[in-house]
Structure 1
């Protein structure tokens, strides 16, 4: 397929090119973000299709890496691919990413169906697909910033952000719908998107400016990549059971992984401060809107990432079974009942992007995070068996807050850096989003496991004894790691049929009640809400911190102008001389 991205002059002369860039990058971000979340809902159907029991102790690692492998790959590589886009051409790296993403989608569609081999095949190919996804995420924002004039960037980035973050919500619904028909459709859905998007990208996308060829910073890439990989692996391993402990945060393996990872990140910072052509120019952090914007983005991503998991567990493990839905059909309906969250996000994002072009990012980014914090505070006050209209309104409010924040935040970050540095700036922004989501999984699952461990074993033992289960058996079942019950709720399983010995279950006169729709949800409800208070309190604090960081980012600043813009009589202070020094490089 012939590329045309070697003609930046033609792209610069084409007045319609910006809409071509917007439509293609939006398609790419939509495919990448849907792919990141679609497995959250469809994993039960996939595991049933390949004949794997995810709740067996030996399969917990497979379960976690099925969810997190794609996220880890994108988190680690987006900064590197952003810098490569600056050096080799943003459209070139983006197009290659679309091609890799599509080939991996086809490979996933042909996945075998034989147990653990199929599961590790899934994990491996999704990590490869994450490499393509990282290329897309790292360069799409920079391509749009190059293509659109300053007064339209907020709208363009708002539309693109709908795909980037809204796709993660939409993926939950699509995953539920397709998995209910055939689990392989979950993978096939990305194939037509990928084929059309790749062909279109190679045909139409071009770089608006000639790339700046630079030597590759091998030491920086190695220390950053390996360091972040070790930290993210440590987080993944940390939420698994360890000996008699509910989690493995104190295990030598996890402590070593995180310790060595942090040491490599420190080494990365030292290397980047001394090399002539760094992988990431640390001088960008001297630009206040860039630093504060990325900090706000990280806080918001950690808070938002955990929300999806908590809502899925709440709906699938408690509310839907209590309202008559079978455990097998809860993944589909969880996606449907979470639609208000998506709707709020879709309503707010393009509007806030357009308004921020004219009034600056601060009022919308700060206001959005304050609304998000209020919604988390209100969600904590709901009972386990909530009134759905109230729940739906709070989800809509949360989505509205996120939508108000993301586009102005993205625009402020990208406007604040020199044009030649937009690839690495977009890569750093994507790192905060993706690494924040992986970090969120570790934090939220840890908080929830702490809450469950405090209350669930005693409640489960008492409830089983009340159902005539022998005390020794009830104690043994209740001593199972709390993470098993948590994952059961997350996957739409009723664990009671697997935790109790089959012979014992068959001998109980009220076995149907124990394995029915209400026994486990009632058992889980109290401990879950106890853990939810920890988790959502943390989200509320993160939203407030994101609001504070957004306020510190200042008023509207566009780097090309080299001076601050006046916004309603307010003249924000320049970020300093860093902009001029960076632009002069």
Structure 2
């Protein structure tokens, strides 16, 4: 009698059922934490500024706010390719585990900021940079670890869960930031410490290398030109958002021009170096694969749209809609997080399902449909009035979350399945670079468009509104001349700039009680800014819709071909080989 075990189909040599779920659980926690920290600060900024006693309207303090938001994203965008390549060379699990330890260590230090004011802000910015280094080591290698651990027929599901965790952390960070900051501003950093300690220990004890690492040498010139070039470009965008020389933004600042020109030249030099070196930092040949190229382009466009949209929605809720509906500025972070829940719920519902379906139906249709729906929600948001009905808003952001979930998992599966096994670390880093760069650039792009929209009408609206309440013309003009970026940040941080700027002059004491009540109330400034803000919203949402529809076109163009090393249909090699995944359909 034949032994059934001997006739059973051979198992994938690198697949261990128990280990693959361990890898999925640990990497999912890692990317969730890393992404959560990229957004949790965004909504908790009002409480953080109050906690470290930093005046958001004082000269120069806008820079602290920008760097708290942008610094984390900038570091992750710059480092993920490098640490992904290091994972290919020296072991993905080794780099990943070290990243968990670094991330947790930085979280501990962030939660014990001993300073106030400028020094307190610098402490937070500095340790968030180190935290981003650890986060880069986690995100760059997590997808590669999963691709090694799971068989081809389950890879879309595993990468989908991982990608849902990454983007889910970004969405949940918006809610968690509001809830935790209502308790204590340090709690937004405390939350990482026990989770980080547990998963760091667990990662060192359970994860193992399941793919060969090729050793080799580091492409120093490639790493330097890429890191410095991309850093210079993103730093220029940050400086470009700050007022300069009487202008509403800093795009006329010679330093910005030098940084952008220098950054682009270094990135051009990086491409030349990578084409000539024997051990390149990235494999430019991967861009010959349509699924890889168009998948990354689509991911970049969606990341720019998603990151900018979140920032604009937070300002809309915290600075205008909630105060107009009677919410105190001190409570707006909490309620903004709660009212953003449909966005998070939509994404968490669609993400795992789309990852599961992509294994059976292919990636192209799901990703393309998700990108198109994403663009449609921008058009819907563009048509809303400033003082909208919440339920219409909730439906639109829920659909936006569903669209993000439809796109994210299939797109990641398509990109990672199109590359040889030995290059999965660097491919994962390149994918993460497109995503993180898009998020970092999005704030600069959307903010610039919003400020340009505000600058046309905000000064006149503020000046006229103040004069109607009895404020002398010269003081009204002074407040009306406040840079639009200051008005936006004041709205987000829950500061009434009218009261803040008029009180030192003593003019309030010369006004009637009714006028004083109006000027210092929570509704006057939001009412004044709502008209100009809507003009900016139309511009940024139209741009977001354009990006989303371009992403849909790019996703459609990813094609149905196989990878560059697949010459004919046939059985897939082991995960340590170079044959690429099945074609997208």
Question: In which range does the TM-score fall when normalised by the shorter chain?
Answer: over 0.9
Equivalent residue, structure 2, for 1:323: 325
Matching of residue 508 in structure 1 with residue 511 in structure 2: yes
Measure how far apart 1:518 and its partner are: 1.4
Aligned to 2:54: 52
Q: What secondary structure, in the 3-state scheme, does the structure 2 residue paired with 1:493 have?
A: coil
Secondary structure of 1:500's partner?
A: helix
Look up the SS of the partner of 2:17 in the other structure: coil
In structure 1, the partner of 2:252 is 250
CA distance in 2, matches of 1:136, 1:563: 35
Which deviates the most, 89-98 or 149-158? Answer: 149-158
2:201 is the counterpart of 1:199: yes
For residues 221-300 of structure 1, the aligned pairs below 5 Å read 221-300=223-302
Q: CA deviation at 1:45?
A: 1.1
1:406 to 408, 417, 426: 408
User: CA separation in 2, counterparts of 1:580 and 1:356?
Assistant: 20
How far apart are the structure 1 equivalents of 2:440 and 2:132? 13
Q: Which residue of 1 aligns with 2:474?
A: 472
Matches within 5 A, 1:122-521: 122-502=124-504, 503-509=506-512, 510-521=515-526
Q: Offset at 1:469?
A: 0.3
Q: Distance in 2 between matches of 1:252 and 1:342?
A: 41
CA distance in 2, matches of 1:321, 1:367: 36
8 A contact 1:360–1:556 mirrored in 2:
no
Give 1:559 deviation, angstroms.
7.4
TM value normalised by structure 2: 0.94
Q: CA deviation at 1:560?
A: 8.1
The residue aligned with 1:74 is 76
Contact 2:248 2:455 in 1 (8 A): yes
**Alpha-carbon distance in structure 2 between the residues aligned to 1:539 and 1:557:** 31
Cα 1:109–1:556 shift into 2, 3 Å:
farther
Deviations 1:55-90 (A, max 9, x none): 212211111101111111111000000100000000
Choose from 534, 539, 544 the match for 1:529.
534
- Call closer, same or farther: CA 1:442–1:108 in 2, change over 3 Å: same
Pair 24,556 (structure 1): closer, same or farther in 2 beyond 3 Å: farther
State the distance in 2 between where 1:224 and 1:196 align.
34
**Secondary structure in 1 matching 2:384:** coil
Q: Conserved in 2, the CA contact under 8 Å of 1:49 and 1:113?
A: no
Superposed displacement of residue 564, structure 1: 6.0
Given that residues 11 and 207 in structure 1 are in contact (C-alpha distance below 8 angstroms), is that contact kept between their aligned partners in structure 2?
no
1:264-291 deviation line (CA, Å, top 9, x unaligned): 0000000000000000011111111000
Q: Contact 1:242–1:251 (CA<8 Å) still a contact in 2? A: yes
Per-residue deviation, 1:110? 1.4
Larger mean CA deviation between 555-564 and 447-456 belongs to 555-564
Give the number of equivalent residue pairs.
562
- Alpha-carbon spacing, 1:471–1:291, altered in 2? closer, same or farther (3 Å): same
> Take 2:565 and 2:255, find their aligned partners in 1: how far apart are those partners?
48
CA distance in 2, matches of 1:501, 1:519: 15
Q: Is the 8 A contact 2:15 2:151 kept in 1?
A: no
Q: CA deviation at 1:12?
A: 3.3
Assess, with a 3 A threshold, how the Cα gap between structure 1 residues 520 and 280 changes in structure 2: closer, same or farther. Answer: same
RMSD: 1.9
- Measured in 2, the distance between the counterparts of 1:565 and 1:385 equals 58
SS in 2 for 1:18: helix
Conserved? CA contact 2:216–2:279, under 8 Å: yes
Residue of structure 2 in register with 1:542 after alignment: 547
- In the superposition, the TM-score normalised over structure 1's length comes to 0.94
- Check whether the contact 1:44–1:492 (CA below 8 A) recurs between aligned residues: yes
Between 409-418 and 41-50, the greater mean CA deviation after superposition: 41-50
Give the match's secondary structure for 1:57. coil
Q: CA separation in 1, counterparts of 2:253 and 2:499?
A: 31
* Structure 1 unmatched runs, 5+: 1-9, 567-578
Unaligned runs of 5+ in 2: 1-11, 572-577, 581-585
Structure 2: distance between partners of 1:439 and 1:63: 16
Deviation for aligned residue 1:492: 2.4
Give SS of 2:60's match: helix
- Note if contact 2:458-2:484 (Cα within 8 Å) is conserved in structure 1: yes
Separation (CA, whole Å) in 2 of partners of 1:103 and 1:522 = 44
Equivalents in 2 of 1:409, 1:318: separation in Å? 35
Cα separation, 2, equivalents of 1:132 and 1:11: 31
Match of 2:112 among 98, 102, 110: 110
Task: Tell me how far apart the structure 2 counterparts of residues 343 and 337 of structure 1 sit (CA, whole Å).
Answer: 11
C-alpha contact (below 8 Å) 1:81/1:93 kept by paired residues: yes
Cα contact 2:46–2:493 (8 A) shared by 1: yes
Is the Cα contact below 8 Å between 1:556 and 1:564 reproduced in 2? no
* Alpha-carbon separation, structure 1, partners of 2:294 and 2:15: 35
Structure 1 469/365 Cα, relative in aligned 2: closer, same or farther at 3 Å?
same
1:123-165 C-alpha deviation (Å, 9 max, x unpaired):
0000011000000010001111111111111111111111101
Inter-partner Cα distance in structure 1 for 2:57 and 2:13: 53
Q: What whole-Å deviation, never above 9, does each CA across 1:26-80 have from its counterpart, x for those lacking one?
A: 0001110111111111111111111111221221111110111111111100000
